[in-house]
Amino acid sequence: MPAIEQGLSGKVEDVATAATPPQTDTLESLSEAMWSEVAAQWDALTPLDLSRVTRVPNRVPPPVRVDTPFAVAPDLRFLYHSVEHDRALGELVSSITRGESVVVLTGMRGAGKTMLCRALVEHLDRRTLVSFVSGASSVDALLKRLLVDFGVISNDETARQLDSTTRDDLSRALRDFLSSLTVLHASALVIVDDAHTLGSEVWTELDAICQMAGDLRLLQMLIVGDNTLTRLMRSSNARSMERRVAFRVEVRSLQRQEIHAYVPHRLAVAGAGDDIRFDQAALRGVFARSRGVPGDVNAICDRALTLASQMSANLIDASMVAQAADEIGFTATAVRSSRRDRAVLAAVLLALLMAGAATAGWVFRSPLTRALAHWHGSDSR
């Protein structure tokens, strides 16, 4: 605890001294710049002016850069502005701007949720400090990640500083940091990715952190997970957090016609647009196998590029896409099975509807008989 107490004593001047060295594209450099600006302005009793604070281009550490067009890592340069993703991003930006305390983002695996979170950070006011937590394995891991991202402790010195630190010490340090945001005229956003994998203790701690922030709206939380997250949050372990949810956003797959722009877009960003391309039949095949899920599109296209390289081909056709999809498990059988399942479901629903109508006719046969007799009698008159 001494290291944390030294780094965060409740005084803005001390936090500025304890921050990590500047000139790095991380939250630590942003935090130091803001703390230093606050200390100078506070001493001079002048209004806080954040216009002179250097804006960090990517405030979600670490910055992601990939060289291949269909890599899994969420590099913002490859963000494709589909109708669905722009809608979801707009709703996220609006909800955070409105100050919603807890927002939930859901979508199937590979839908692009992490990419949207990184895009969200680029739209936030520079007074908003961000921590990006991915699948915290324990309460201690969660708290340490928050303190590192908010610049309270150095990422390079975390292990040495926290060897003898208790969980209460970590919570106290986070509470002091949140309290100091009032002086900063700033707020904090915690993005919790892969929340569907969290344990019950971590959910309890997330609720405690929200409670810690109180009614001052110093902290907001974006909970991100797959489509099982909504059901999970209604369970006993996460029910308290469920009650705090103010807004929900769901991101869905790309539309069929968007695949024909999405794939060339990623190739162009990677600088490969002039070297290789997918023909129209190949793109239709990509959609058929992936059903428009961006992560699955990327996996199929990445494998197809490997096959094209092996064949020294610069045009990828439908047969290469089919082979690529089969090799990584996106079989045509699975796609046909999905369609067959939908057809069977429709048939079952129709049968149930007809059975229900027949049952209703049997139950109400006497009134129906009298009604029909009365109707025929009216016609005869």
Give me the phi and psi of 220, to 5 degrees please.
Answer: -120, 160
User: 3-class secondary structure for 54-67?
Assistant: CCCCCCCCCCCCCC
3-class DSSP assignment, residue 329? coil
Note the pLDDT tens digit of each residue in 234-261: 987 899 999 999 999 999 999 999 999 9
CATH architecture of 256-327: Orthogonal Bundle (1.10)
Report field, pTM of the whole predicted structure over 0.75: no
CA 25 from chain centre, in angstroms, equals 21
Secondary structure (DSSP) of 25-54: SSHHHHHHHHHHHHHHHHHHT----GGGSP
Residue 87 CA to residue 200 CA, distance in Å, equals 32
Q: Find the mean pLDDT for residues 70-76.
A: 90
What's the DSSP call for residue 199? Answer: -
- Indicate the pLDDT class of residue 12, thresholds 50, 70 and 90: very low
What's the DSSP call for residue 76? Answer: G
Tokens 């707009």 map to which residue?
A: 90
Decide if domain 2-250 falls under CATH 3.40.50.300: yes
For the chain, the domains span: 2-250, 256-327, 332-366
- Indicate the pLDDT class of residue 273, thresholds 50, 70 and 90: confident
- Contact yes or no for 14/30 (Cβ under 8 A): no
- Contact yes or no for 88/108 (Cβ under 8 A): no
User: 3-class secondary structure for 178-193?
Assistant: HHHHHHHCCEEEEEEE
- Indicate the pLDDT class of residue 154, thresholds 50, 70 and 90: confident
Q: Are 2-250 and 256-327 in the same CATH fold?
A: no
Residue 142 has pLDDT above 70, yes or no: yes
Residue 41 CA to residue 75 CA, distance in Å, equals 36
**Average pLDDT taken over every residue of the chain:** 78
